[in-house]
């Protein structure tokens, strides 16, 4: 053996010893943190600001009480104290699958089997509340009486590691099925912080557009799904005469936070899991180092918005092959959905889909010849501005209006600002449909080819598609709709050529006095 080979071997041994010493030190630090962390931080004094708000002054003592050890950027799978709770994605029961544990509290840190934090983007506000002293980081939520009032029935997709990869199918049942793991004093006298990622409830929703549909006779009050609203009252409590109070719609709804099974997500997008982890780490400013250092942990709770499901009619009808199912998958558009901006068709398409869902649930859809009640489903994703965000969306609006706002340059304007025309990537979208147990869709209220391809590609049959009626399209949104049709979006109407797009021009700012 040459001198160079000997030197290289010795150097390798030294480096291995240094790495072993570093990991041992980190493991000892974790143990020290667990021993030294109090059950709850000591109370701190607050002061009242001139505006009436209260604040906690910067206090090194409080910081030390919250975080008694040095900054722990990451853990490693071979550390002595790191023993993740077993988690098998796609198992046939929740207990075989195991609970999702992502808390970095010392009591749960050694047993974590997921990266990130609960509540998506709202986890930042939780961190701020802890720093301000308004929330005890060790507080365990009380989940008694929070169980779903309607059943989302278990189905085979729940234990298929390929069908559902972007949400926890057992997420709404966590307080009941994992009660022992979360509440009993185990694992060396430490309870585990296990939280639901889905909640299911009932509600009445009220929209002006539904009121108007009832007045036109397109929706009927049946006393079950559509109910008359309480009479309007003045400030003094007296009844307002001569004004129709409109209607309310009885719905079931579920809120879902995203939980990504990284091997399944990577496979869904056709990329290597290592590339997915590296991109999530690098392009979020290194937000989650353990995406790189903990390859043994396969579940990630991304800091993004989730989704809401609205079910019109009896949820059990979803599993009845004789019942009609009408579905719209809608991506958030705050400007239109909430504030009624007329530059796009988002709100009119959404409310039209709700009307179709109501008619289906009542058995009054034109294709329900036997009058049997069906079920309607609207899924509302938080993917504002095609997942580019509202800031980027408004920048694109400015570019469009300053350059003539022609349908021929509609997608190009977005690409110039964002570098891509759409970042929604609908590959993960069908997961929620599989969670609900939808195996076919009779009426798909959508023109999107991306959504259609993703749903059909996931194994769900779509029997009928239809686009937004032309009378619901605001004049200024004709630019958007014509550009989409020309790019391949579904329509039963006239196809639009690229040459004709030049003639579709939106309203200029100067046309209206602001």
- Separation between Cα atoms, residue 494 and residue 113, nearest integer Å: 53
Q: Which of 193, 405, 422, 442 is flagged as catalytic?
A: 422
β strands within 97-197, DSSP E = 114-116
* 453: annotated active-site residue: no
Q: Is 278 a catalytic residue?
A: no
Torsional class of 417: left (φ above 0), alpha (ψ -120 to 50), beta (otherwise):
alpha
Neighbours of 374 (CB within 10 A): 27
Q: Give the number of other Cβ atoms within 10 Å of residue 370's Cβ.
A: 7
Token match 């909640």: residue? 199
In DSSP terms, which residues pair with 221 in a beta bridge?
Answer: none
- Report the alpha-carbon angle 66-71-72, nearest 5: 105
88: Cα separation from own chain's centroid? 22
Q: Can you say whether the dihedral through the CA atoms of 415, 417, 419, 424 is positive or negative?
A: negative
In sequence order, the β-bridge partners of residue 331 are: 381
Of 104, 86, 80, give the one whose Cα is nearest residue 31: 80
| Beta strands 461-462; 440-441: pairing state | parallel
Diameter over CA atoms, the chain: 102
Considering 424, 431, 442, 467, which one is annotated as catalytic?
424
Concatenate the DSSP letters of all residues of 452-489 into one string: HHHHHHTT-EE--B----GGGS-GGGHHHHHHHHHTT-
Q: How far is CA 188 from the centre of its chain?
A: 35
Which has the closest alpha carbon to 493: 476, 475, 471? 471
SS3 readout for 292-358: HHCCCCCEEECCCCCEEEEEECCHHHHHCCCCCEEEEEEECCHHHHCCCCCCCCHHHHHHHHHHHHH
Per DSSP, the three-state class of 509 is helix
Write out the catalytic residue numbers. 422, 424
């Amino acid at each position: 053996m040459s001198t160079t080979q000997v030197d290289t071997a010795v150097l390798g041994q030294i480096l291995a010893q240094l790495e072993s010493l570093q990991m041992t030190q980190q493991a000892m630090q974790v143990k020290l943190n667990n021993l030294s962390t109090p059950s709850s931080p000591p109370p701190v004094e607050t002061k009242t600001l001139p505006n009436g708000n209260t604040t906690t002054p910067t206090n090194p003592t409080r910081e030390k009480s919250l975080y008694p050890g040095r900054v722990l950027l990451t853990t490693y799978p071979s550390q002595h104290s790191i023993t993740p709770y077993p988690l098998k994605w796609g198992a046939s029961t929740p207990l075989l699958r195991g609970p999702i544990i992502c808390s970095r509290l010392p009591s749960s840190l050694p047993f974590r089997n997921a990266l990130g934090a609960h509540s998506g983007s709202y986890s930042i506000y939780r961190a701020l509340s802890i720093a301000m002293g308004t929330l005890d980081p060790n507080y365990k939520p009380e989940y008694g009486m929070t169980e779903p009032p309607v059943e989302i029935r278990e189905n085979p997709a729940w234990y298929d590691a390929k069908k559902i990869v972007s949400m926890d199918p057992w997420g709404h049942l966590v307080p009941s099925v994992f009660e022992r793991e979360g509440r009993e004093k185990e694992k060396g006298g430490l309870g585990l912080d296990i939280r639901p990622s889905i909640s299911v409830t009932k509600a009445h929703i009220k929209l002006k557009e539904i009121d108007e549909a009832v007045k036109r006779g397109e929706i009927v009050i049946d006393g079950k799904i559509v109910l008359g609203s309480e009479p309007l009252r003045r400030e003094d409590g007296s009844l307002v005469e001569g004004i129709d109070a409109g209607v309310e719609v009885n719905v079931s709804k579920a809120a879902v936070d995203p939980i990504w099974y990284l091997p399944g997500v990577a496979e869904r997008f056709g990329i290597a899991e290592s590339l997915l982890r590296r991109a999530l780490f690098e392009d979020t400013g290194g937000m989650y180092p353990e995406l790189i250092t903990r390859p043994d942990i396969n579940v990630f709770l991304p800091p993004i918005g989730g989704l809401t499901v609205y079910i019109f009619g009896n949820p059990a009808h979803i599993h009845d092959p004789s019942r009609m199912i009408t579905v719209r998958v809608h991506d958030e558009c705050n400007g239109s959905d909430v504030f009624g901006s007329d530059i796009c068709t988002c709100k009119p398409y959404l409310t039209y889909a709700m009307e179709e869902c109501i008619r289906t649930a009542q058995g009054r859809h034109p294709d329900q010849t036997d009058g049997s009640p069906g079920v309607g489903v609207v899924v509302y994703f938080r993917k504002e501005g095609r997942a580019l965000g509202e800031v980027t969306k408004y920048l694109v609006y400015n570019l469009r209006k300053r350059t003539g706002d022609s349908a021929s340059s509609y997608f190009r304007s977005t690409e110039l600002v964002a570098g891509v025309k759409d970042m929604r990537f609908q590959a993960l979208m069908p997961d929620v449909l599989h969670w609900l147990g939808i195996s076919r869709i009779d009426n798909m209220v959508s023109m999107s080819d991306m959504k259609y391809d993703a749903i059909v590609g996931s194994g769900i049959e779509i029997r009928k598609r239809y686009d937004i009626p032309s009378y619901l399209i605001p004049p200024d949104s004709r630019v958007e709709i014509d550009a989409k049709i020309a790019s391949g979006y579904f329509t039963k109407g006239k196809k639009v050529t690229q040459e004709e797009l030049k003639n579709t021009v939106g309203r200029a700012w100067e046309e209206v006095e602001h």
